[in-house]
Amino acid sequence: MFFKRLLSLVFFLVTISVSAQIQEKQLDKLIQETLTTFDVPGISVGIFKDGEVVYAKGHGVRSLTNKKDMNANTLVGVASNSKGFTCFALAMMIDEGKLNWDDPVRKHIPEFQLHDPWVTENFTVRDLVTHRSGMGLGAGDLMFFPEGNDFNVNDVINNVKYLEPETSFRSKFAYNNNMFIIAGEVLKRVSGLSWEDFIETKIMKPVGMASSKASYNRVTDKSNIIDAHTRAEGKVIQIPHDWSETANAAGGIVSNVPDMLTWAKFLMNDAVTESGERLLSEAQFHELWQLQTPLKVSATDTYDSNFRGYGLGWFVTDVKGGHKQVYHTGGLIGTVTQFTMIPDLDLAIVVLTNQMNGMAFNTITNTIKDSYLGYEDRNWLENYGKRNADYLKYNDSLKAEVYSKVKKAKTNVTIPDPNQIVGTYTDDWFGDIIISHDGKTYSIRCKRSPRLFGELLPYNATTFVVKWNDRSYDADVFMQFTFNEKEEAVAATMKYIAPITDFSFDFHDLELIKTN
């Protein structure tokens, strides 16, 4: 009798487990509704579970221009999901005895300097890839963001010394792409290969990521690749691809659902390929997913997490019942992606999109994840949908209020005259910003980043609004001037108008001095 009851209990639990997992038709419906709710043209989704791909589909269109269907094989820039590859590559060099995580960066890049001399000498390779430099969120990202500037890797290495820290060294997490760019240079110098060649030949090829490339410019067949899209002036539009090759080590990889699931399978098989080849020692692979920089867990955390933080190229946390989750997200102008693994469940979820709305991928990932963790339906679509609508409304209201004041400022007698502010303003790491006046309107352009140009609009006695010509950036800023006793501008600072502005538009880090 006991044995029969035990069998019945096991059968019941298995039945509950299977029935709790989201079914294909349900997921299809969810993704279609997600496209509509968040105004995303196309999304591709993949699920790997217990050694098999159980879902791999595209929904919507890859481009609003050509209207071609998004499918599982559609290529997407995975952005910062590239960081895990960079750290894996560095770990391979450690296995070869060419590098250590705690090597000073200057051992491999002697010219490397930060703002503080002591930090410079003690800054390690591990510090490059754990977002604990002391610099602020996204500090220096304007050296590669948006595309079209003339900064290269050597410029990044030379210029980071001008970025002043916001906190003490190793005391706080603050996401930093430039440190990963420098980590890519470390890889190049110790391996003798470019970051791109190393990633493709030493990782992608043996893992079996046949369709993936280490950078957008290496994709020769673009017949099935997304176009980027974003919301501009209240409407989703197609925009040009935007990613600087300088930053490939931070976010350059282009991939698709099958290849990202292949990467997940490889990682959850302890870095052993399908052919049985181990690409990384057990010790180094274990190191990648260890907590390096802690992050707070919210008191209202929705996954009953006990810890959260950043490892080596990965975020790590625990979810319901202590399951370790390893994950990352990625964002370019016009696309966002999410990659999630729960190794002890042999579960991986990939969501790739062609519109920059993170609430869309969170809706899909959380719903799938919940179905495997046994949570009741928490209706993420409705929750995130409302949050998204409220957030857009809030940001739009801030911008509307600012531009309302801009209209009124035309009659403000305290607005500075052109001869008070026109000229060249220089920042140590970003270079020159030039303000001119044609007798009617002001213009502003960034000399080293020529796609950043626009109109300067009077706002009040000390402040103007920078309205960038490319409205897809959604990155308009206040520009506040400092005047001397002759009422001549001598310096300026910037800050964003609305929080929706991507943190990589780090205009707030500029310290502009008028040079002529």
pLDDT at 321: 82
pLDDT at 20: 52
| pLDDT (mean) for 493-503 | 97
Per-residue pLDDT of 321-371, as tens digits, reads 899 999 999 999 999 999 999 999 999 999 999 999 999 999 999 999 999
By CB neighbour count within 10 A (0-12 exposed, 13-18 middle, 19+ buried), where does 272 fall? middle
pLDDT at 10: 37
Distance CA 146, CA 331 (A): 12
pLDDT > 70: what percent of the chain? 96
> How high does pLDDT run on average in the chain?
94
Is 49 a residue whose pLDDT tops 60? yes
| pLDDT (mean) for 81-99 | 98
pLDDT at 54: 97
Is 140 a residue whose pLDDT tops 50? yes
Is 9 a residue whose pLDDT tops 70? no
pTM (2 d.p.): 0.94
Is 11 a residue whose pLDDT tops 80? no
Domains recognised in the chain with CATH numbers = 21-66+77-217+228-234+241-392 (3.40.710.10), 412-514 (2.40.128.50)
Per-residue pLDDT of 239-297, as tens digits, reads 998 889 999 999 999 999 999 999 999 999 999 999 999 999 999 999 999 999 999 99
Per-residue pLDDT of 198-213, as tens digits, reads 999 999 999 999 999 9
pLDDT > 90: what percent of the chain? 94
Per-residue pLDDT of 205-235, as tens digits, reads 999 999 999 999 999 999 999 999 999 999 9
pLDDT at 6: 37
Is 136 a residue whose pLDDT tops 70? yes
Distance CA 320, CA 120 (A): 40
Distance CA 35, CA 41 (A): 6
Q: What is the 3-state secondary structure (H, E, C) of 97-148?
A: CCCCCCCEHHHHCCCCCCCCHHHHHHCEHHHHCCCCCCCCCCCCHHHCCCCC
Which pair of tokens denotes residue 78? 């995975």
